[in-house]
């Protein structure tokens, strides 16, 4: 009976240790002209920089309906002649396993670079698309994703979704601790 209860508790723990999804949907007003800002909830940290020769930060967060031929649902971020490097503020023992995002490449150069602990991947979509497109890192062997870099002459981005999971070493330590406690309890009952 005790083994059944232990296995049930272990299954319950495994079920609660599944992935969490956080979405940066830009449904807030970022401080205009600031080089950095954090999303509500503090998960996404943005660091914007202008691309030379532009001396000023060039981004806007709004519904872009007056700018794009196919506006997004709600608000998005528009970058022109600039970059946005996004990192993540996660709890200890968590990491980003995969991510997806939507983009609208109005014109010019666009580069989306996702960096992980094992590798990186770069997308260079063609300019002048008239629809929103998506990218997804599922299936790429990047390791733990540490940052996204959006480099754009004139593009919009929205719905950056990150899949956050517990670090495997943390799960292993918790499972090992559970086994030690179980052994200790068995030893006392003898």
Q: What is the pLDDT of residues 99-152, one digit of tens each?
A: 999 999 888 889 999 999 999 999 998 876 678 899 999 999 999 999 999 999
The pLDDT score that the predictor gives to residue 4 is 45
The C-alpha atoms of residue 55 and residue 57 are separated, in whole angstroms, by: 7
Contact 43, 86 (CB under 8 A): no
Residue partners of 180: CB distance under 8 A and separation at least 6: none
| Cα dist from 119 to 51, 85, 140, 141, whole Å | 25, 17, 9, 7
When comparing pLDDT for 100 and 4, which is higher?
100
- Whether pLDDT at 50 is above 50: yes
Rounded to an integer, what distance in angstroms lies between the CA atom of residue 103 and that of residue 109? 13
User: What share of the chain has pLDDT > 90, as a percent?
Assistant: 42
> Binning pLDDT at 50, 70 and 90, where does residue 154 land?
confident
Q: What share of the chain is helix, strand, coil (3-state, %, to 5)?
A: 20, 40, 40
State residue 64's pLDDT score.
78
pLDDT band at 12 (very low <50, low <70, confident <90, very high): very low
pLDDT bracket for residue 35 (50, 70, 90): confident
Q: What is the pLDDT of residue 22?
A: 95
Contact 50, 82 (CB under 8 A): yes
Peptide bond into 8 cis (omega under 30): no
Q: How far is the C-alpha of 21 from the C-alpha of 159, rounded, in Å?
A: 11
Question: DSSP 3-state assignment of 187?
Answer: helix
CATH code at 29-166? 2.60.120
> Distance between CA 112 and CA 122 in Å, rounded?
6
């Amino acid at each position: 009976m005790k083994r059944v209860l232990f296995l049930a508790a272990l299954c319950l723990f495994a079920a609660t240790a599944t992935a969490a999804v956080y979405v940066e949907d830009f449904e807030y007003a970022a401080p205009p002209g600031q080089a950095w800002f954090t999303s509500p909830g503090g998960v996404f940290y943005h660091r914007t920089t202008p691309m030379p020769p532009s001396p000023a930060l060039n981004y806007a967060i709004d519904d872009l309906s007056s700018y794009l031929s196919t506006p997004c649902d709600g608000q998005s971020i528009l970058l022109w002649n600039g970059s946005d490097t996004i990192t993540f503020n996660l709890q200890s023992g968590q990491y980003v396993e995969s991510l997806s995002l939507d983009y609208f490449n109005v014109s010019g150069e666009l580069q989306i670079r996702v960096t992980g602990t094992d590798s990186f991947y770069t997308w260079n979509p063609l300019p002048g698309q008239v629809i929103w497109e998506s990218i997804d890192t599922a299936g790429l062997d990047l390791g733990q994703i540490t940052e996204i870099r959006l480099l754009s002459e004139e593009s919009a981005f929205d719905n950056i979704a990150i899949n956050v999971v517990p670090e495997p070493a943390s799960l292993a330590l918790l499972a090992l601790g559970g086994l030690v406690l179980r052994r200790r309890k068995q030893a006392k009952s003898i």
